[in-house]
Structure 1
């Protein structure tokens, strides 16, 4: 199979028939063998009914429905696990991503041997204050932190080699950082392509300003996991040892001063150095224990179920 199109969605009933028709037309025009995986992330409108109807008319359409809303990252995780195409394309269901981009994205992966191509919505039709400016700031921070020179990390339109999606773990809300996850997994041929962005035709956006706050928090998380995710003791153990050493040196100074230099001076507990020593050693011990526990958890953790699938169509 040439292409798997993975489409996570939440309450996009109005756009689904048009999106399916558009994608099918592009695929048939270019003689691609394909599948379209609609991942219903707990929609409360008629989205699943429409997906069911589309799957009955077109065997290339496959549907997966979550029992409740788990988030875009979990939907992508499931879609990636089920995708069978040599090239996997992700796009949003709101018609803001253009399916006409698919053939060029496919060529970049299949013929030019890129591992991942991320879309860049150079010209956007979103609100400047609500999305454009925060998005530019967010992407600047992501570039500086990850080392990837991409302009639009969070663009829903991306293309991947199948082996990439099978070897990355999209969890939490890390769908914003899939290129970073791919880089951390060892895939190096990552680039971007300017893609056409379209104004939303139906409904309203499902994301608010909180996504930028969550995005920056996730950026800190992935930065930490990139460097210390497999070796937490290297960070917490080092910090703990340093703080404990500082505290010990203060304690040693106080002891020597009291025993040999200033024998008749004030009590050790009346000196500020005593509290610096005490706090440093206590916090240092806690950091060290945190690193030790992190290592134990890492070595004994088992994968837990992240979501429950209620229904599957044509899978």
Structure 2
């Protein structure tokens, strides 16, 4: 199979038929074998009924329905596991991503040998305050922390080789930074392509302040995972050892000066326990020990695999 089109969605019943017709027109005109996977992330409108209708009309249409809303990352995770195509194309269901980009994205993966091509919506039709400014901020920070020179990490329109999606674990809210996850997994042929961005035709945007805040938290997480995800002891162990030594040397200095004053110079002094610096040194030693243990536990956790489902699926179609 040439192409798997993975489409996560939430309450997009107005756009699904039009999007399906558009995708089919493009892939059939280019003689691709294909499958279209709609991942319904707990929609409360008529989205699932439309997916069922499309699947009866075309067996290449497949559907996965979540029991409730788990988020875009979990939807992509499910779609990636089910995808069978040589190239996997992801796009949003709101018609802001153009299926006309599929042939060029496919060629970049199959002919030019790229692992991942990320879309770049150079000209956007979103609200500047609600989406453009936060997106530019996140993209700038992501470039600085990951060394990937991409302009639009969060663009929903991307192309992947099958090997990438089978080896990248998308969870939490990490769909914004899939290129970084791919790079961390050892895939280095990553680039971008300027793609057409269209104004939203139906429905309303799902972007809100919670995503703005989550974006910052995810950025901190992805930075940490990029630097120390495979070697937590390098951070926590080093920091713990440094703090323990500072506390130990401080306590040694306090104790030694006490002994010298009392036994050699016969200078009366307060008890060590009355010196506030003694407790500061003791606390520093305890914190250092805890940091070291955190690094050790992190190393143990890395040797165990993630188990358990991140989502519950209530229905499947053609899978």
Aligning the two structures, in what range does the TM-score lie when normalised by the shorter sequence? over 0.9
1:166-181 aligned within 5 A: 166-181=166-181
Moved more, 166-175 or 269-278: 269-278
Aligned partner of 1:238 in structure 2 is 238
In structure 1, C-alpha distance between the alignment counterparts of 2:247 and 2:178, rounded to whole Å: 42
After TM superposition, the structure 1 = structure 2 runs for residues 95-114 of structure 1, keeping only pairs within 5 Å, are 95-114=95-114
Cross-structure match for 1:294: 298
Instruction: Structure 1 unaligned segments of length 5 or more: list them.
Output: none
2:274 to 270, 273, 281: 270
Structure 2 partner of 1:253: 253
Q: 1:23-78, CA deviations, whole angstroms, 9 ceiling, x for partnerless residues?
A: 00001111111100000011010000000000000111111111111110011011
Runs of 4 or more above 4 Å deviation:
none
Q: Could you say which residue in structure 1 is the equivalent of 2:311?
A: 307
- Corresponding residue number in structure 2 for 1:211: 211
Does the 8 A contact of 1:138 with 1:212 survive in 2? no
Which 5+ residue runs of structure 2 have no aligned equivalent? none
Q: 1:282-301: CA deviations, max 9, x gaps? A: 11111122222222333345
Q: SS where residue 118 of structure 2 aligns?
A: strand
Quick check: 1:147 aligned with 2:142?
no
Q: Structure 1, residues 193-237: CA drift from partner, whole Å, max 9, x if none?
A: 000101111010122122121111111111111222222222111
Alpha-carbon separation, structure 1, partners of 2:167 and 2:282: 46
Paired residue for 1:49? Answer: 49
Which stretch shows the higher mean deviation, 9-18 or 290-299?
290-299
Aligned residue pair count:
315
Q: 2: CA distance between counterparts of 1:300 and 1:83?
A: 26
For residues 121 and 297 of structure 1, the distance between their equivalents in structure 2, rounded to whole angstroms, comes to 39
Tell me how far 1:281 sits from its aligned partner: 0.8
CA distance, structure 2, for counterparts of residue 304 and residue 154 of structure 1:
27
**Cα distance in 2 between the residues matched to 1:135 and 1:67:** 30
Distance of aligned partners of 1:301 and 1:188 in 2 relative to their CA distance in 1, 3 Å threshold: closer
| SS of residue paired to 1:166 | helix
Please state if 1:196 is matched with 2:169. no
Cα distance in structure 1, aligned partners of 2:306 and 2:114: 32
3-state DSSP of counterpart to 2:303: helix
Question: Please, what TM-score do these two structures have when normalized by structure 2?
Answer: 0.96
- SS of 2:35's equivalent in the other structure is strand
The 2-side partners of 1:254 and 1:297 are apart by: 38
CA distance in 1, matches of 2:207, 2:133: 15
1:155-193: CA deviation from partner (whole Å, max 9, x where unpaired):
000001111111111011110010001111111110000
1:81 equivalent to 2:91? Answer no
Range with greater deviation from structure 2 (8-17 or 212-221): 212-221
Q: Please list the CA deviations of residues 58-110 of structure 1 after superposition, one character each: whole Å capped at 9, or x if unmatched.
A: 11111111111111001101111111111100000000000101111111111
Correspondence list, 1:31-50, <5 A:
31-50=31-50
> 2:23 aligns to what?
23
TM-score normalised by structure 1 residue count:
0.97
Root-mean-square deviation (CA, aligned residues, Å) is: 1.2
